[in-house]
């Protein structure tokens, strides 16, 4: 399911550096609420949940919402802050037909090798009219993500990701249409200095797939920027919603 193999080192780095602080999740809760109205008895699938930060957030925000967390990586499941996390992949979900009221995919769509197959499997487990909510960086949309300012060589990796149009076309084969698409700002780090101190190459697919020389040059740029006092690092990822 992945462009990289999520081993123990990758999973540990992901948990250490990729969880947003609770106070910085408000913009995402607001955006998600425009498309999902949790009610008692509803179930949300967190597909490719990684180390479980979003599943944990959903349970905290909406205790009445049942959250089903699925990830194919044993290393990720073992380090999850949410329990339980069950094994499964986008094209092979351990769920009954029509059993969930929404599907959430956060920074995982580029790891899915067969998007039409995933779309069919997601359609199978979703109730009619329920949303698929995809949080991601998409090909051609790097300008609002600070990582690519410091590591411009990684833009070429991002451009290997699916574009919004690619995802829309793949899901259209299973009868989905776009219900919304918007950039959502988030505080990724309290400052550039904090971003530099917390950077873990293993936690970022684009950084793993550039050369060591390009990575070292980017670290030097980031450390140079960190010497100047700054405010929060604000990035924007896209929320793509399909029904």
Q: How many helices (H) and strands (E) does the chain have?
A: 11, 7
Give the pLDDT score at 164. Answer: 98
Establish if 215 belongs to a structural domain.
no
Structural domain includes residue 14: yes
**What domain range is 176 assigned to?**
8-139+162-186+235-242
Residue 222 lies in a domain: no
The enclosing domain of 133 has a CATH number of 3.40.50.150
- Is 175 part of a structural domain of the chain? yes
Residue 141's CB is within 10 A of a number of other CB atoms, namely 19
Indicate whether 194 belongs to any domain: no
Task: Please tell me whether the peptide bond between 232 and the residue prior to it is cis, using omega within 30 degrees of 0.
Answer: no
The secondary structure of 20-31 as a DSSP string is PPGGG-HHHHHH
pLDDT of res. 16: 64
- pLDDT on residue 13: 66
Q: Is residue 169 part of a domain?
A: yes
pLDDT in tens, the chain (243 residues): 446 556 667 666 666 656 687 778 999 999 999 999 999 999 999 999 999 999 999 999 999 999 999 999 999 999 999 999 999 999 999 999 999 999 999 999 999 999 999 999 999 999 999 999 999 999 999 999 999 999 999 999 999 999 999 999 999 999 999 999 999 999 999 999 999 999 999 999 999 999 999 999 999 999 999 999 999 999 999 999 999
Does residue 157 sit within a domain?
no
Q: Is residue 31 part of a domain?
A: yes
- Number of domains into which the chain is organized: 1
The pLDDT value recorded for residue 237 is 97
**Pairing status of strand 132-136 against strand 103-106:** parallel
The DSSP letter of residue 138 is -
- Give residues with Cβ within 8 angstroms of 43, minimum separation 6: 65, 66, 67, 68, 99, 100, 101
């Amino acid at each position: 399911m992945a462009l990289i193999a999520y081993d123990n080192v990758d999973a540990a780095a992901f948990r250490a550096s990729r969880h947003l602080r609770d106070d910085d999740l408000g913009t995402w809760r607001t955006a998600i609420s425009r498309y999902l109205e949790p009610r008692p008895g509803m179930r949300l699938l967190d597909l490719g949940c990684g180390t479980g930060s979003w599943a944990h957030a959903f349970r905290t925000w909406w205790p009445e919402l049942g959250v089903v967390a699925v990830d194919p990586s044993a290393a990720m499941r073992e380090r999850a802050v949410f329990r339980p996390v069950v094994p499964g992949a986008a094209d092979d979900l351990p769920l009954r037909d029509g059993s969930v009221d929404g599907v959430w995919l956060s920074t995982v769509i580029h790891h899915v090798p067969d998007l039409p197959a995933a779309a069919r499997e997601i359609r199978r487990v979703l109730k009619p009219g329920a949303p698929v909510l995809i949080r991601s960086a998409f090909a051609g949309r790097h300008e609002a993500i600070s990582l690519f300012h410091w590591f411009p060589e990684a833009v070429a990796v991002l451009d290997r990701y699916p574009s919004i149009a690619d995802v829309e076309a793949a899901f259209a084969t299973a009868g989905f249409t776009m219900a919304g698409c918007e950039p959502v700002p988030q505080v990724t780090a309290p400052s550039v200095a904090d971003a530099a101190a917390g950077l873990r190459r293993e936690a970022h697919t684009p950084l793993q797939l550039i050369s060591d020389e390009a990575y070292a040059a980017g670290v030097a740029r980031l450390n140079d920027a960190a010497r100047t006092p700054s405010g929060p690092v604000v990035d924007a990822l896209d929320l793509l919603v399909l029904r």
